[in-house]
Amino acid sequence: MLRIEGVVTSYGHIEAVRGVDLAVPPGGVVALIGPNGAGKSTLLNTVSGLLRPRSGRIIFEGRDITGWPAARIARSGLLQVPEGRQVLGPLSVEENLLLGGLAATGRAAPPKLEEIFALFPVLAERRRQTAGSLSGGQQQMLAIGRALMGRPRLLVLDEPSLGLAPIIVSHVFQVLRRLNADGLTILLVEQNARLALAIGDVAYVLEQGRIVRFGAGAELAADPDIIEHYLPRF
Ligand code: ATP
């Protein structure tokens, strides 16, 4: 569904992503892990069009989307839930959701509001409350809901568990599994490697801008090298 081929992305002279190849099969969940500063967010932002790669290609559903503006990529069915959620604080929950649908499809009032409320009932309860008054976990649900309003076929998530209480994380990941079971393809970056390797059919390890390992999530989770570096025993 998505193929990243030899992608290099730089900030001025700093090469943050240094020739990455990565594939996301239709219906799969692909997890990307790696230490702080490895280039994970840079890679996702390149895929979703927020950054332009210096070289390489990004192919989505057979089309070369390299260099497309982010809005066009979103309309083509590839939607990102950004790191830190970035909901519009002064607007209500419902307005945030409606804007998500509008931004991605160019149409007002897409019919999926009730589907989002079924996935995240707390958003229905708080539909008229401002997004800024929600807890971090509720804002993460809203950010996911907002992306879903654009009817993505590929959902890209940057650190969905960041700063959330364990019980909320487990709820968010349950919803992601359910969405995947219903046919949504997922690419996610996740600091919590244990979680990432559990949900990822396939996982990639990015270090200093390069993929250093990839394999089945379960296989990497059992690998002594990965355990030592990424799966500390608490
Ligand atoms: P984290 O988990 O800390 O978000 P990451 O793996 O997502 O890390 P990136 O945020 O992609 O890593 O950063 C990769 C490299 O690019 C780092 O060296 C970082 O300092 C640098 N970098 C990121 N954003 C910018 C920017 N806007 N300008 C300059 N350098 C940047």
Q: What is the CATH number of the domain that holds 182?
A: 3.40.50.300
Give 49-101 pLDDT, tens digit per residue.
999 999 999 999 999 999 999 999 999 999 999 887 788 889 999 999 988 88
Task: Please tell me whether residues 206 and 184 are part of one structural domain.
Answer: yes
E runs forming strands in the chain: 2-11, 14-24, 29-33, 55-60, 63-64, 78-81, 154-158, 185-189, 202-207, 210-216
Spatial separation of the C-alpha atoms in residues 12 and 234, rounded to whole Å: 39
**End residue of a domain, out of 113, 130, 151:** 151
- Give the ligand 1 atom nearest the CA of 38: 6
10 Å Cβ neighbour count for 166? 10
Q: Is the pLDDT of residue 111 over 80?
A: no
Residue 82 belongs to a domain: no
Spatial separation of the C-alpha atoms in residues 140 and 190, rounded to whole Å: 14
Distance, CA 170 to ligand 1 centroid (Å)? 27
Is the reported ipTM for this assembly greater than 0.90?
yes
Q: Is the pLDDT of residue 103 over 80?
A: no
Distance, CA 42 to ligand 1 centroid (Å)? 6
Give 16-49 pLDDT, tens digit per residue.
999 999 999 999 999 999 999 999 999 999 999 9
**End residue of a domain, out of 134, 151, 168:** 151
Give 155-193 pLDDT, tens digit per residue.
999 999 998 999 999 999 999 999 999 999 999 999 899
Spatial separation of the C-alpha atoms in residues 190 and 52, rounded to whole Å: 22
Q: How many domains does the chain have?
A: 2
10 Å Cβ neighbour count for 122? 16
Task: Please tell me whether residues 138 and 196 are part of one structural domain.
Answer: no
Task: Please tell me whether residues 73 and 156 are part of one structural domain.
Answer: yes
Task: Please tell me whether residues 170 and 69 are part of one structural domain.
Answer: yes
Q: Which domain holds residue 25?
A: 2-77+152-230
Q: Can you give the pTM of this predicted structure?
A: 0.93
